[in-house]
Amino acid sequence: MKDYAYGCEQVFSADGWCLAGEAGVFLDPLYSPGLDLIAIGNGLITDLVGRALDGEDVEERAAIHDRMFLLITEGWLAVYEDQYPLMGAPRPMLVKIIWDTAVYWAVVGLLYFQNRIRDLGDLPGVVAGLGRFSVWSREVQRFLREWGAVDDSAGPASFVRFYDFAFMPRLHVGMTADLGDGGLEERFAANLRFIEHLSGQLVATVMAEFDADPGNADKRRLLRRWRGNDVLMDLVAVHEQERSADPVDDAWITLGGDLLASGGRR
């Protein structure tokens, strides 16, 4: 199937209409994000309807909800756009699934479980973070796509689970943490910093592998491109700054060595 994803110029209006579910934005079947968008969208719609029934002027709030919903879906699109060829590259695809899921739990999942998506207009730090994230997440997705196009490594020899990597349960369980007043912005900023750290580790690890294969012209070409990409190099710099304070085993990228010897447990 082709061209089944679609977007909208507007999904919520103060003039008495909203688009819900597949009447609005639809991204892709992978990971079933349509269910997430229904949950997020219906929460925002319910907020508008309830306030309007109470006599509140919701014009400004409808505009904010509309912008935030479209910002979230626009950033989410990068997970899928042009990424299906990665399914033919087992290791990069598995790494992508781990990264995508870590981001899902750290960013959108956190905001949803903390019941704050409808209040994003009151959280400028979170909105600014979402804007920055949308920029560098697209570069990471392109990096994964380019890596997958030339990857010649063998796939993992054992089943890989999310909880094989210590940072995954931390992000997963962390969605439901009791953050108290003002704690969300702090946790959200910390999560974004960690995802930057994780992304920089990914870039640095793959680049080191490519450096060890100097005879491969395609890998040399990509190395030159990546080293000239300021966003990717900024992520590597974050990784270098954070690696001593928050060390992360690179088994989620290498998918080999001790991970496989231990039957997949880290």
In this structure, the answer to whether residues 70 and 92 fall within a common structural domain is no
Instruction: Establish if 114 belongs to a structural domain.
Output: yes
In this structure, the answer to whether residues 243 and 158 fall within a common structural domain is yes
Q: Interior CA angle at 20 toward 16 and 21, to 5°?
A: 175
Helices (H), the chain: 33-53, 59-77, 90-106, 108-113, 124-150, 167-174, 183-211, 217-227, 230-242, 251-254, 258-261
Cβ count within 10 A of residue 173: 10
Pick left, alpha or beta for residue 16 (phi over 0 → left; psi -120 to 50 → alpha; otherwise beta): left
In this structure, the answer to whether residues 32 and 58 fall within a common structural domain is yes
Cβ count within 10 A of residue 262: 12
Contact indicator for 175, 110 with CB cutoff of 8 Å: yes
In this structure, the answer to whether residues 107 and 196 fall within a common structural domain is yes
Give the model's pLDDT for residue 265.
42
In this structure, the answer to whether residues 60 and 103 fall within a common structural domain is no
Instruction: Establish if 266 belongs to a structural domain.
Output: no
Give the model's pLDDT for residue 262.
46
Question: Domain range for residue 28?
Answer: 1-77
Give the model's pLDDT for residue 250.
95
Give the model's pLDDT for residue 266.
41
Name every residue whose Cβ is closer than 8 Å to that of residue 179 and which is 6 or more positions away in sequence. 114, 186, 187
Which three-class secondary structure state does DSSP give residue 22?
helix
In this structure, the answer to whether residues 120 and 166 fall within a common structural domain is yes
In this structure, the answer to whether residues 71 and 191 fall within a common structural domain is no
Give the model's pLDDT for residue 14.
93
Which one of 57, 77, 97 terminates a domain? 77
16's tokens: 């008495």
What's the average pLDDT block by block, 10 residues per block, for the chain (266 residues)? 86 95 92 94 96 96 94 90 93 96 96 92 89 93 97 82 95 94 90 98 97 96 98 98 94 74 42
User: What phi and psi, each to the nearest 5 degrees, are found at residue 169?
Assistant: -60, -30
In this structure, the answer to whether residues 156 and 64 fall within a common structural domain is no
Name every residue whose Cβ is closer than 8 Å to that of residue 237 and which is 6 or more positions away in sequence. 200
Instruction: Establish if 249 belongs to a structural domain.
Output: yes
Give the model's pLDDT for residue 263.
42
Q: Report the domain count for the chain.
A: 2
**Torsion angle (degrees, nearest 10) of CA 169, 262, 260, 158:** -80
